[in-house]
C-alpha cells in the first residue's frame, strides 16, 4: 500500500500543514485505517477509495479517532491523485459520510468547495479573556469559536493558556483573527480539546473564518494567512453558503506500507 506525506497549503517543504494520504482500489477496515493513522502519527491521514475515474470516497483519521472533515488533508489528497493516479484530471468528485464536494485542479493549485459554517454572535466571557490574557473585540460561534482581536501583531504574539482553553464550553476549536495590510485577514487556530494545541494551517477552520470576513469586509474573494510557526496561505471565496478554499501542496515523502488489509 502506498503512503504519501504531503505539505498542504505550502509552496515548499516544511511549510503549511503535513498530511498522510492513502489512495485505495478497495476499502480496508476502519480498524486498519486507525492503526495506520496512529502508527504514522501525522495530524490527519486521508484515505480515499476510487469508485470510478475522478470519483472517490474519503475518510479522515487523526491518530486518536476518525473526524468528519479535514481541509488540509483533502488538499494533500488532491495533490496525490493528480500527480500519481490521474495526471490529466481537472475535477475530483468526493463523497464522505458528512458531505459531498468537488475539488478543481489547475496544475499544482487545488480548489476545494465546502459548506460554510453558520455563525452566531456570542459573549466574550471572563474565561475567554483569561485564556488569551487580553480582551478580544468580539466573538462569534460556528463549529469553532472565532475571536476578533485588535491587530495582526496581536495574533502573532498571542500565548494562550491551553489548559484553560479546554474549559471553554463552546466550540470545537478556538481561532483568533485580525485584519492585515498584506492579506485580507490573518489567524491562528487552536484545538486543545481534541489533542492539538495549534493547527499549523487549518482548511476547515476557514469554512467559518472566510464566511466571517466576507461579511465583515463585504467581499467574496479573500486571501488569508495563518500565522503558525510553519505558516500557510489560503485563497478563499465565500458565497451562497459555500466556501471555496484554494492552495498549493508539495510532496515530502513516499513510502510503501508492508501490511495486509
Q: What is the CA radius of gyration of the chain?
A: 18
Domain count, the chain: 2
Q: What is the pLDDT of residues 48-90, one digit of tens each?
A: 999 999 999 999 999 999 988 888 999 999 999 999 999 999 9
State the pLDDT at residue 196: 86
Q: Which three cell numbers stand for residue 96?
A: 464522505
> Residues 6 or more apart from 233 whose CB is under 8 A from it?
9, 183, 223, 224, 225, 226, 247
pLDDT for res 55? 96
Is 261's pLDDT higher than 70? Answer: no
Residues 6 or more apart whose CB falls under 8 angstroms from that of 28 comprise 47, 261
Residues 124 and 235 in one domain: yes
Cell of 198: 495549534
Residues 251 and 192 in one domain: no
Averaged pLDDT, 122-151? 97
Q: E strands along the chain, which residues?
A: 2-8, 17-24, 45-52, 55-61, 66-67, 91-95, 101-106, 109-115, 120-122, 138-141, 145-148, 174-179, 185-191, 196-199, 221-226, 232-239, 242-256
Could you tell me if 245 and 115 are in contact, meaning their C-beta atoms sit under 8 angstroms apart?
Answer: no
53 and 158 belong to one structural domain: no
pTM, full prediction: 0.85
Using 50, 70 and 90 to split pLDDT, how confident is the model at 195?
confident
Cα–Cα distance, 113 to 94 (Å, whole number): 10
**Residue 261 is assigned to a structural domain of this protein:** no
Co-location of 201 and 236 in the same domain: yes
**Domain carrying residue 94:** 2-113+247-256
Same domain, 133 and 200: yes
Domain shared by 143 and 220, yes or no: yes
Domain CATH code at residue 26: 3.10.310.10
Give residue-wise pLDDT tens across range 8-25.
Answer: 999 899 999 999 999 999
Residues 131 and 146 in one domain: yes
- Alpha-carbon span 92 to 50, nearest angstrom: 11
Asked if the structure places residue 173 within a domain, the reply is: yes
Amino acid at each position: 500500500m502506498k503512503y504519501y506525506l504531503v505539505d498542504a497549503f505550502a509552496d515548499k517543504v516544511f511549510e503549511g500543514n503535513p498530511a498522510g494520504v492513502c489512495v485505495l482500489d478497495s476499502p480496508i477496515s476502519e480498524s486498519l485505517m486507525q492503526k495506520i493513522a496512529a502508527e504514522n502519527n501525522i495530524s490527519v491521514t486521508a484515505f480515499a477509495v476510487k469508485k470510478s475515474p475522478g470519483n472517490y470516497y474519503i475518510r479522515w483519521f487523526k491518530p486518536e479517532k476518525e473526524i468528519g472533515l479535514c481541509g488540509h488533508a483533502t488538499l494533500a489528497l488532491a495533490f496525490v491523485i493528480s500527480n500519481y493516479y490521474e495526471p490529466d484530471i481537472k475535477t475530483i468528485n468526493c463523497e464522505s459520510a458528512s458531505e459531498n464536494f468537488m475539488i478543481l485542479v489547475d496544475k499544482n493549485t487545488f480548489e476545494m468547495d465546502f459548506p460554510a459554517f453558520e455563525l452566531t454572535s456570542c459573549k466574550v466571557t471572563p474565561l475567554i479573556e483569561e485564556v488569551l490574557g487580553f480582551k478580544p473585540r468580539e466573538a462569534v460561534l460556528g463549529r469553532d469559536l472565532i475571536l476578533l482581536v485588535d491587530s495582526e501583531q496581536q495574533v502573532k504574539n498571542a500565548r494562550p493558556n491551553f489548559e484553560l482553553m479546554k474549559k471553554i464550553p463552546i466550540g470545537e476549536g478556538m481561532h483568533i483573527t485580525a485584519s492585515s495590510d498584506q492579506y485580507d485577514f490573518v489567524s491562528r487556530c487552536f484545538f486543545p480539546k481534541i489533542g492539538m494545541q495549534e493547527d499549523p494551517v487549518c482548511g476547515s477552520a476557514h469554512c467559518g473564518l472566510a464566511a466571517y470576513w466576507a461579511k465583515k469586509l463585504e467581499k467574496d474573494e479573500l486571501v488569508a494567512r495563518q500565522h503558525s510557526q510553519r505558516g500557510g496561505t489560503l485563497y478563499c471565496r465565500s458565497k451562497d453558503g459555500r466556501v471555496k478554499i484554494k492552495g498549493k501542496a508539495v510532496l515530502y515523502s513516499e513510502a510503501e506500507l508492508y501490511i495486509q488489509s
